[in-house]
């Protein structure tokens, strides 16, 4: 049985003709929409995170200084009473600045002020601030006095050095040299 659609004249169109649907074109459009939606969600989450992180107190994110620095900043009564150099304490002077002759200048000041001079030499360090290191709490007060008399602002406990006290001179004070003798002896 044949009907009118079975016999179509060549070149003549009849009936409703639609383009065959390409499944791949629909999948591409859907994928694009999903990707754009994910990007939008990520941007919103990032914006919310930035807003909430900026609302906090910025000072709360700063770490407290290590215990050794904070304890050395506040002298105990015995440390504040010491004002005389103890000649039984050995003081090493090390040049960490790279400036020639610095250890010699500071070692002469250590001897003039009454401490027992130990090793004098060079020291390799990346630090730029001079520090007086002390070995053992019994040397803390003398280390503070050495630091004050040489014009060094930092003291720190350390078992890395053998001497009772080790002065590491860095670039912060290397060019100016030690404090004048009058400043260290008069107090």
Q: Is 123 or 28 the better-scoring residue by pLDDT?
A: 123
Q: Is 109 or 185 the better-scoring residue by pLDDT?
A: 109
The pair of structure tokens assigned to 129 is 């601030």
Q: Taking the CB of residue 93, how many other CB atoms lie within 10 A of it?
A: 31
Segment 44-93, tens digit of pLDDT: 999 998 888 777 665 555 555 555 544 444 444 444 445 788 888 999 99
| Contact yes or no for 88/117 (Cβ under 8 A) | no
The pair of structure tokens assigned to 68 is 């050794």
Helix (H/G/I), strand (E/B), else coil: 111:
helix
Helix (H/G/I), strand (E/B), else coil: 116:
strand
- Is 90 exceeded by the pLDDT of residue 130? yes
Alpha-carbon separation of residue 21 from 18, 24, 91, 114 (angstroms): 8, 9, 91, 99
**How does the average pLDDT of the chain come out, rounded?**
79
pLDDT mean over 160-169: 93
pLDDT mean over 145-166: 92
H or E element: which one contains 12?
A: none
Structural domains of the chain ordered from first start: 90-169 (3.30.70.2390)
Q: How many CA atoms lie within 13 A of 82 on its CB side?
A: 18
Report residue 118: phi and psi, to 5°: -105, -130
What integer pLDDT is reported at residue 84 of this predicted model? 81
Helix (H/G/I), strand (E/B), else coil: 82:
coil
């Amino acid at each position: 049985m044949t009907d009118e659609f079975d016999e179509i004249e060549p070149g003549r169109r009849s009936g409703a003709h639609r383009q065959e649907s390409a499944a791949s074109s629909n999948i591409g459009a859907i994928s694009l929409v999903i990707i754009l939606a994910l990007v939008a969600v990520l941007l919103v989450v990032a914006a919310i995170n930035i807003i909430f992180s900026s609302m906090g107190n910025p000072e709360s994110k700063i770490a407290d200084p290590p215990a050794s620095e904070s304890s050395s900043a506040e002298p105990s009564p015995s440390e504040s009473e010491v004002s005389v150099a103890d000649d039984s304490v050995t003081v090493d002077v090390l040049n960490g600045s790279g400036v020639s002759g610095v250890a010699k200048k500071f070692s002469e000041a250590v001897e003039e002020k009454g401490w027992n001079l130990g090793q004098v030499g060079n020291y390799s360090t990346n630090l730029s601030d001079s520090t007086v290191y002390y070995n053992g709490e019994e040397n803390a007060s003398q280390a503070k006095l050495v630091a004050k008399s040489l014009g060094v602002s930092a003291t720190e406990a350390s078992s890395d050095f053998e001497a009772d006290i080790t002065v590491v001179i860095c670039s912060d004070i290397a060019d100016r040299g030690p404090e004048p003798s009058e400043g260290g002896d008069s107090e």
